[in-house]
Structure 1
Amino acid sequence: MIVPIRCWTCGRPLGHLWEPFRQRVLKSENPEKVLDDLGVTRYCCRRTLLAHIELIDQVLEYSRIETE
């Protein structure tokens, strides 16, 4: 849903790396190179960023309360 603030396994802060990672990958950069440049070396942290799917916009559509 929302990018994890910390790695699920080791607890390293990752939230601040999501935007730069996402922007560079959307510009067709190699994700492996981007993670190396950002200093993400642990495989658990790499997995957390690589496997993340942003679903918050889709979930928000269903959480609005309509008033009559």
Structure 2
Amino acid sequence: MQPLRCWTCGRSLHGISSALQETANTGGSLGDILDKCKVNRYCCRRFALGELPRKDIPSNDFMRHFGYVASKEETTTEPSR
């Protein structure tokens, strides 16, 4: 559920939820759609992007590729005794 207002500054975020969902489905840039909707403050952008569907969150394989989490080999090895 998309927040109706930014909790930090109080700006209404009601109109951007459909635009964000449409952009997420088509694979467009989320930053560009926020700029188009004139959401410029960091606090508002944080709340707008914080409620995206789970499918838009990068998978662990993506994160492993760029080194953000341990590789599968590192996590599946037996601990040394």
Q: TM-score, normalised by structure 2?
A: 0.59
- Partner of residue 66, structure 1: none
Q: Does 1:43 align with 2:42?
A: yes
Cα separation, 2, equivalents of 1:45 and 1:22: 16
- Asked if 2 retains the 8 angstrom alpha-carbon contact of 1:25 and 1:34, the reply is no
Tell me which of the two structures has the higher relative contact order, counting C-alpha pairs closer than 8 angstroms and 6 or more residues apart: 1
- Deviation at residue 29 of structure 1 after TM alignment: 0.5
In the alignment of these two chains, the number of paired residues is 54
Segments of 5+ residues of structure 1 without an aligned counterpart are 55-68
Runs of 4+ in 1 over 4 A off after TM superposition: none
- Deviation at residue 28 of structure 1 after TM alignment: 0.5
Identity %: 36
The CA RMSD measured in Å over matched residues stands at 1.7
SS in 1 for 2:39: coil
Matched letter for residue 13 of structure 2 = L
- Asked if 1 retains the 8 angstrom alpha-carbon contact of 2:21 and 2:52, the reply is no
- Partner of residue 25, structure 2: 26
Q: TM-score, normalised by structure 1?
A: 0.70
